[in-house]
Amino acid sequence: MDPARKRRVRLVVALTTALLLAGALVYTSVSASTEARSPSQLLASAAPGRSYQVTGKVVDGSIRQRGAETLFRVRDRNGSASIPVAYTGAVPDPFANGREVIVQVHKSGNGFVGERDTLVTKCPSKFTAKN
């Protein structure tokens, strides 16, 4: 095979491999991903047993301790629709009323159960657009 042809063959092989890998990447990511929802979206439609990643703010005054469980409500960032969440385990330091949180939950009965180690609280931003 002359060098030009060899180079072209290599290029085709490389591109095909790259495309296959990219395809595999997309496939695994879609199948391994969780839907991101807001509390109001979850209230509207949440299939029991499926995991969702909910983003919202902790409702003021809603944090309660029940044994090892932390109970709180999460509301829309700009809204009041809220869902109850029961989370077991250590809770991150910045977790408090009014903080923005991200947590993976699944529906259980009328409430939602937070999955372990998925509660992320955003570092409180000292800076908002107006400040």
Partner 1 sequence: MATLGRACLILAFVIALYGVGAGLVAWRSGRRDIAASARRSVYALAGVLTVAMIILESAFLRDDFSFATVAGHSSHTTPFFYKAAAVWSSQEGSLLLWVWLLAIWSSLALFLTRKRMRDVTPVATAVLAGFAAFFAGLLVFFASPFEVLGAVPADGSGLNPLLRHPSMMIHPPMLYSGYTLFTVPFAFAIGALVTRRVDAEWITATRRFALAAWLFLGIGIILGARWSYAELGWGGYWAWDPVENASLLPWLTGTAFIHSIMIQEKRGMLKVWNVSLVLATGILAILGTFLVRSGILDSIHAFGASTLGVPFVVLIVFLLVLSIGLVAWRSSLLRSEHGIDSFLSREAAFLFNNLLFVGMAFVVFFGTFFPLITEAFGERRNVGPPWFDRIIVPLAIGLVGLAGIAPLISWRRVTRGNLRRNVAVPLGFGVLVAAVLTAVGGVAHKPWALAMFALAGFLIAGVVQEFARGARARRAMSADSWPLAMVSLVRRNRRRYGGYMVHVGIATLFVGVAASSAFQHARDVRMRPGDTAHINGYDVRYAKPLGRVVVRDGRVERIDLGSQLVVSKGGHVLRTLSPTRGYYPADAPFAPVSGMFSGEPESQVQMIAGLRRDFWTAVQPELGPLRRDMALYDKAIRVLAQRGAPVDKQVLAFRIGLQRIVDDYASGRPYSTFRLISSPLVAWIWIGGIIVFGGGLVSLWPAPDGARRRATAGYAARVARELGRA
Q: Which of 23, 61, 79, 89 binds partner 1 (CB under 8 A)?
A: 89
**DSSP per-residue codes, 58-120:** EPTT--EEETTEEEEEEE-TTS--EEEEEEES---TT--TT-EEEEEEEEETTEEEEPTT--E
Rounded-to-integer distance, Cα 108 and Cα 94, Å: 26
Q: Is 40 among the residues that bind partner 1 (CB under 8 A)?
A: no
**61 touches partner 1 (CB under 8 A):** no
**Alpha carbon distance 62, 72 (integer Å):** 5
Is 21 an interacting residue with respect to partner 1 (CB under 8 A)? Answer: yes
Smallest gap, in angstroms, from Cβ of residue 23 to partner 1? 12
* 125: contact with partner 1 by CB under 8 A: yes
Q: Which residues bind partner 1 (CB under 8 A)?
A: 3, 7, 21, 25-26, 28-30, 32-36, 53, 55, 64-65, 67-68, 88-94, 96-97, 100, 102, 104, 116-118, 120-129, 131
